[in-house]
Structure 1
Amino acid sequence: MIRLTSTLLCTFAMVSAAHAAPGDKAVAEMKGLEGQILGAVTLIETAQGVLVTGELTQLSPGPHGFHLHAVGQCKPPFATAGGHFNPDGRKHGFHDGAGSHAGDLPNLHAASDGKAVVDALAPGLTLSGGAKSLLDQDGTAIVVHAKADDYKTDPAGASGDRIACGVVTKAR
């Protein structure tokens, strides 16, 4: 397994408008195009943003674009998840001088056995109310793409097809 640790934003989709406080959690069950369960992601609100952790399996080895999308829906081929979560109206990519989408995350790297571990921070995002909440009325989705994000090409880093998706929901 390869562990991805960096400052980033990440999550699945379709979250309720319920309020969260630091320490509150949300979850996203990741599914592939055929409906197979590929793993789960846990989101925890912190004072610095949303901590995103989890493990995925059955991915092709190598890097994959990994993003928070603006709509909490995951109907294959996952176009229903909309574009990247972008409440500030910025361009895509960490290499953009004006800043990136709030939903831009570092690439997810799958090992030769198809497993990938996520351990990242989505700075400035919340699970509570407001424009930067991942649990807004239309929810949020986490999407895995077929290819690596180049961190510069707008709107999605030339990361290819959407191959996995999960809707973010408030944990009980």
Structure 2
Amino acid sequence: MKKISLAMVVLFACGAAQAASEDVEMHLVTPQGIGQSIGEVEIEETDNGLKFTPDLKALPPGERGFHIHANGSCEPAMKDGKPSAAEAAGGHLDPQTTGKHQGPEGAGHIGDLPVLLVDKDGNAKEAVTAPRLKKLDEVKGKALMIHVGGDNMSDKPEPLGGGGARFACGVIK
């Protein structure tokens, strides 16, 4: 009886089976700066990879490009001689420098996530999982980005899946 009680105390004290998670506040971004909050995305470690659960509003309906970017900043920066929204976030997270956009299951950028689905009212609530990302530590200090366009998980016919301009951004702390 004492062995069972001691085991239960140890499990309780250690917080057994407690997956690491982080809430990321997402903001609209423009070439002028960071705007209003549009909600949060919870990032959670699972056996299948990092799970991204959005609770977002005020997005354009449809499929949106969704990525981890290399730098932990949502500030504008110069691109092609003009201020660009959240450009300080850098490119897609690509620590192996593959230079390829092949989606969350491909061998390219590790920051490529499944598309974010936005309903007709501009809300995103459907979770997606990135199977190649296993630990929250891999993305801490990086930016989570939502693009104006969708993502075809290829560099053709448009680079980086055709996601286009950066629409919303949050820093993973």
Same fold per TM (> 0.5)?
Answer: yes
1:92 maps to what in 2?
A: 101
- Asked if 1:26 is matched to 2:30, the reply is no
2:136 maps to what in 1?
A: 127
2:113 maps to what in 1?
A: 105
CA deviation after TM superposition for structure 1 residue 158, in Å: 1.7
Moved more, 98-107 or 110-119: 98-107
CA deviation after TM superposition for structure 1 residue 122, in Å: 1.8
- The percentage of counterpart residues that share the same residue type is 39
Q: Which one has a larger percent helix, Structure 1 or Structure 2?
A: 2
Cα distance in 2, alignment partners of residues 158 and 54 from structure 1: 22
CA deviation after TM superposition for structure 1 residue 95, in Å: 9.7
Aligned length: 141
- RMSD value, Cα: 2.3
TM-score scaled to structure 2, two decimals? Answer: 0.73
CA deviation after TM superposition for structure 1 residue 88, in Å: 2.4
Give the SS at the match of 2:67. strand
* Unpaired segments ≥5 residues, structure 2: 1-16, 77-84
CA deviation after TM superposition for structure 1 residue 22, in Å: 6.6
Larger Rg: 2
CA deviation after TM superposition for structure 1 residue 72, in Å: 0.8
* Unpaired segments ≥5 residues, structure 1: 1-20
Cα distance in 2, alignment partners of residues 110 and 95 from structure 1: 19
RCO higher in 1 or 2 (8 Å CA, sep ≥ 6)?
A: 1
Whether the aligned pair in 2 keeps the contact of 1:22 and 1:47 (CA below 8 Å) is no
The letter for the 2-side match of 1:32 is L
TM-score scaled to structure 1, two decimals? Answer: 0.73
